[in-house]
Amino acid sequence: MSSAELAIVSLFPLPQVALFPHAILPLHIFEPRYREMVRDCLSGDRKLAVAALEPGFEATYHQRPAVRAVCGVGELVAHEALADGRSNILLRGFARGRIVDELPPVESYRRVRWQPIDDRLPPGFDEPRALSSLILLADQVALKLPSGAETLRQLARSQAMAGPLTDVLAAALVTDSDERQSLLEEADIGARVERVSARLASILLDFSEKRGPAN
């Protein structure tokens, strides 16, 4: 497939933000160029790509600063218009994508050509075991939470396969922006299961250390 044949999507570059497949991302829209982008998105296919800005973007923020090549692509599933022209939106991620090139500036916002990044299953991957392990760890974390336990339990059961479950758990529980971007860039399901499992185990350890030794 040539570059010209690749899908085109509007690009929302943001600092330290990752849109994971199968996850919901709320965003507040206030800049004029992104108000135009949302209007066009609503009247078109409702697809948007969210890409993290590379470090050092501040000096050229209002131009076209560099973004990470791997982005999240989602569908605009909810839109709340505010009286002053701003809006709140919800994006539901549906794919990892790689930005192939950027279109010449015509609109005030950016548009890119992208190609999907498919998940990879490592040899011998045990899907039922991976899924059960993630659910068990999430349930253990839920037991420690002061609030939101039932929400986490439901989230852990919202996906029927381990790959999508790693994405929704990462979106909900991984807070470090570099780690989130790294997980977004990881197409190997086995590696994501290991990393998200380690994150859940780390959260459990943090709770144990805060509680202190038993009397």
23 and 94 in a single domain? The answer is yes
134 and 184 in a single domain? The answer is yes
Can you give the pTM of this predicted structure?
Answer: 0.91
Question: CA torsion sign, 189 to 194 to 200 to 202?
Answer: negative
The total number of structural domains that make up the chain: 2
Q: How far apart are CA 196 and CA 64, in angstroms?
A: 33
For residue 122, is it within any domain? no
29 and 52 in a single domain? The answer is yes
Of 16 and 160, the structure prediction assigns the larger pLDDT to 160
For residue 32, is it within any domain? yes
For residue 46, is it within any domain? yes
For residue 15, is it within any domain? yes
180 and 157 in a single domain? The answer is yes
pLDDT one-digit tens code per residue, 81-134:
998 889 999 999 999 999 999 999 999 999 999 999 999 999 999 999 999 999
18 and 89 in a single domain? The answer is yes
Q: How far apart are CA 23 and CA 30, in angstroms?
A: 23
Last residue of a domain, one of 96, 117, 138: 117
| Percent of the chain residues topping a pLDDT of 90 | 84
78 and 135 in a single domain? The answer is no
39 and 112 in a single domain? The answer is yes
Average pLDDT of span 18-35: 96
Last residue of a domain, one of 64, 92, 117: 117
Average pLDDT of span 179-198: 98
